[in-house]
Structure 1
């Protein structure tokens, strides 16, 4: 019998979803030196993929980052460090435009970009020569990964041993509208600052790609997705995008071992939007701790550490995917 995973409990000195979300940004460890590769996509674009190498035959953990994330995100750094300690190969593919250089094509990335997930996993599977490939995603990356697994059904097992998603915004409408209210608007403004800057640069390269005035005037994610994300990626509007890109409807179709961790105090997604076990397939393990914030999971005495998330991932892949 495999050892039980350690459930998450927030330290008493860090109460509340907002504090638990923001504090990791202040205590993130020093990034490791990673090896970068540039991959040409099937449509002639590129993505940058960062590697922490390990001995041949070691398990591979690929981590898909969140909205405007990168290899320098706190969860990526802590996971890379945990993989180094475990002797695993760590891989972080940057979604288009997230590695510090504007991509070549008009499109960027979005929460339901399962086709991009599929292409990346197939390339990693081929490079790994059939070895153990574990796939995890955080926030937006977790949503896209879960959606991919649901769409692929039993065939997902041809590429990965299992999948794990941390704080995935499973219901994009519930998440997007919630981020437009109260204190949560600070998170929205943080995202919009970089999203608008990159979008303005993309518009210079591709005039007429979307309505520049509507993009500049957007004050929430609904307005931004309606003006930019949806038309650029073939959706009728924000409502269509959020409905079709959400992973929640696909959870019942997942046929590989899957872990979905969603704290009930996540400021991005209210607890009443989270799925019940009756709404997901038998391969899906739901963990919905009372606390954790949005990709927070701080543990230990003050000032805390960020070890819980990567250790939960490694435990799952070691013991629930064999």
Structure 2
């Protein structure tokens, strides 16, 4: 599809990508009532799902259960209570759609059962959640929204050689590093040093738990030698998940190569001032060549920082608009 024209115009103070990223990630607050459900994965691990429901009795004057749900996937070392996740859930609930916020393995406050956990290209867990929504919860309409790492998982899942259930009607990916090697290079630059240090600390804290859980596999010396995110992926992510090395992991897990195969209407929104993304993370060619792929590139927004006046962020507003209108001609297409 042609590229979508963005109408996002934030207040002056939020035109700075660093400011909008920090405000969205550390300052924003969202109040949402959630209930937790634990499901078993196909490999005998578990996922914790945090549910919130449409107020259908108030919105639709009926007690009928919603037939629609949005599956929300968080970013690297996030969880299902992060405001960029709960903000979307709240908007969809207000529009008559249930929401299930997925905690990736080890991200719900409790470590998972195995040495391996989650990564940017692990799509089987998403498939398990989709099947749970269809088989156990009986939803007839499913939407998926992934943020950052979760966005890459979403796009890769939709473009892989698998049968996508007919219940999946649309998807949205926000601030998504579709080219993992390029994004990793950007994260290691001075402009992102504060973010890289924070990610590294959280990831190493998880490895320290693994060290206790699986004695003999990890040594203090090994953990002390991990100085960068790429070294973490070299030492742990690639080895634990069956890749040859970090480059092999980045190459095989990047969603960019799967975009041509996507057959579900999908919106990708990457801000042009997102310091986490490399030039390869703006898939203009792929969007123009795939009628199901819509690319919006606002000038501003940073990394998941699409702040606008009011409680609803621009990317959340666009998400609900997209699932309602993707099959119309109201998409602000650039000629």
Q: TM-score, normalised by structure 1?
A: 0.91
Q: Give distance in 1, aligned partners of 2:238 and 2:75.
A: 18
Instruction: Give the CA deviation at 1:241.
Output: 0.4
Equivalent residue runs for 1:16-31 within 5 Å: 16-31=16-31
Q: 1:42 to 1:290 in 2, by over 3 A?
A: same
Q: Does 1:44 align with 2:44?
A: yes
Q: Does 1:313 align with 2:319?
A: yes
Q: Does 1:83 align with 2:92?
A: yes
Partner-residue secondary structure (3-state), 1:78: helix
Residue 99 of structure 1 corresponds to which residue in structure 2? 108
Contact 1:277 1:286 in 2 (8 A): no
Q: 1:259 to 1:211 in 2, by over 3 A?
A: farther
Q: Give distance in 1, aligned partners of 2:173 and 2:157.
A: 12
Residue 58 of structure 2 corresponds to which residue in structure 1? none
Among candidates 127, 131, 141, match of residue 118 of structure 1: 127
Partner-residue secondary structure (3-state), 2:274: coil
Q: Give distance in 1, aligned partners of 2:277 and 2:5.
A: 24
Q: 1:297 to 1:205 in 2, by over 3 A?
A: same
Q: 1:211 to 1:180 in 2, by over 3 A?
A: farther
Counting matched residue pairs gives: 315
Q: 1:136 to 1:150 in 2, by over 3 A?
A: same
Q: 1:233 to 1:321 in 2, by over 3 A?
A: farther
Partner-residue secondary structure (3-state), 2:160: helix
Equivalent residue runs for 1:1-322 within 5 Å: 7-54=7-54, 55-152=64-161, 155-209=163-217, 212-278=220-286, 280-300=289-309, 305-320=311-326
Q: Give distance in 2, aligned partners of 1:211 and 1:284.
A: 45
CA deviations 1:43-63 (Å, max 9, x no partner) are 221111000123413421110
Q: TM-score, normalised by structure 2?
A: 0.88
Instruction: Give the CA deviation at 1:262.
Output: 0.6
Partner-residue secondary structure (3-state), 1:92: strand
Q: Give distance in 2, aligned partners of 1:278 and 1:309.
A: 21
Partner-residue secondary structure (3-state), 1:156: coil
Instruction: Give the CA deviation at 1:5.
Output: 8.9
Instruction: Give the CA deviation at 1:271.
Output: 3.6
Q: Give distance in 1, aligned partners of 2:120 and 2:86.
A: 22
Contact 1:266 1:294 in 2 (8 A): yes
Q: Give distance in 1, aligned partners of 2:224 and 2:273.
A: 31
Q: Give distance in 1, aligned partners of 2:148 and 2:141.
A: 23
Structure 1 unaligned residues grouped into runs of 5+: none
CA deviations 1:19-76 (Å, max 9, x no partner) are 1111113442233120100111122211110001234134211101111111221211
Q: Give distance in 2, aligned partners of 1:210 and 1:116.
A: 25
Q: 1:308 to 1:58 in 2, by over 3 A?
A: farther
Contact 1:265 1:271 in 2 (8 A): no
Partner-residue secondary structure (3-state), 2:267: strand
